[in-house]
Structure 1
Amino acid sequence: MSKDGQGSPRWFDDDAGPVVRPYAMTRGRTTSEGRPDLDLIALVHAERDAADLEGEETLSPEHLDIVERCRQEPQSLAELATDLDLPAGVVRVLVGDLLAAELIRVTRPVPPAELVDESILRDVINGLRAL
């Protein structure tokens, strides 16, 4: 905490700029109506350009940042949280908002347990050759 010229306390320094609490970005919500079960490895794909959404009054600058970052290439929730310097819970709520508005789509990578084992494919090919 520093003091200004009149001796009154200030809770930020001049270089920090305005401070917005994470709960203010989500209007106090900890989950979204879209999909509350979004995990950190879910991939976010933008359906529209952020420039097309500039006039949308319901979207915050953070919503637009997410759309812009995911328009170039899909990003995971963890990557978005890191790039935007926001808590993962806040990004999860913002992504849920965008999902509910149908401005993005979310896919989940295939878990390693569900990937086909290469040895099984070799056995199938060898079995077909034996016919």
Structure 2
Amino acid sequence: MNDDQRESWYDDDAGPVVRLYAITRGRSKNARPDVDMLTLVVNASAGMRPRRSDPEYAEILRLSRTALSVAEVAAHLNLPLTATKILVGDLIDDGYLEHRSPDPAPEAAARNQSLLRAVMRGIEAL
């Protein structure tokens, strides 16, 4: 069988053939516990070139010109949330991204519980 007749073991629809551990350099846990899927990130580099040359980092900086949640960044990159959180954490540590995690106020949590109890009483009344 010559090279022209060989079938390719992947196709264009399969996407990139790079394993996630290569993108995250073998890391599987986020070193920043304050970064979750609802964390908003915005580019704070003001035109500075990142020291990391991987294309995923450049794309995160490009996407975050306006505030985006980490979940939105993951969707745009077509990467799992865990890998995206690692990459975003790297850029935060390097000072290229500003972030803000939602802090639920204690009174908001109490209101949610009372609302849930009211809904439960209504369902039980049916």
Q: Which has the larger radius of gyration?
A: 1
Aligned equivalent of 1:52: 48
1:30/1:18 Cα in 2 relative to 1: closer, same or farther (>3 Å)? closer
Aligned equivalent of 2:61: 67
What amino acid maps onto 2:45 in structure 1? R
Q: CA deviation at 1:104?
A: 0.8
What TM-score do you get using the length of structure 2 for normalisation?
0.69
1:85 to 2:84 alignment: no
5+ long unaligned stretches in structure 2: 112-126
Q: CA deviation at 1:62?
A: 0.7
1:89/1:17 Cα in 2 relative to 1: closer, same or farther (>3 Å)? closer
Q: CA deviation at 1:82?
A: 0.7
Match of 2:8 among 4, 7, 10: 10
What TM-score do you get using the length of structure 1 for normalisation?
0.67
Fraction of identical pairs, as percent: 40
SS in structure 1 of the partner of residue 99 of structure 2: strand
Match of 1:27 among 25, 28, 50: 25
| RMSD of aligned Cα (Å) | 2.5
SS in structure 2 of the partner of residue 52 of structure 1: coil
Moved over 4 A (4+): 14-18, 112-115
Instruction: Please say if residues 42 and 99 of structure 2, whose CA atoms lie closer than 8 Å, have aligned partners that are also in contact.
Output: yes
Query: Following the alignment from structure 1 to structure 2, what is the Cα–Cα distance between the partners of residues 66 and 114?
Result: 34
Instruction: Please say if residues 34 and 101 of structure 2, whose CA atoms lie closer than 8 Å, have aligned partners that are also in contact.
Output: no
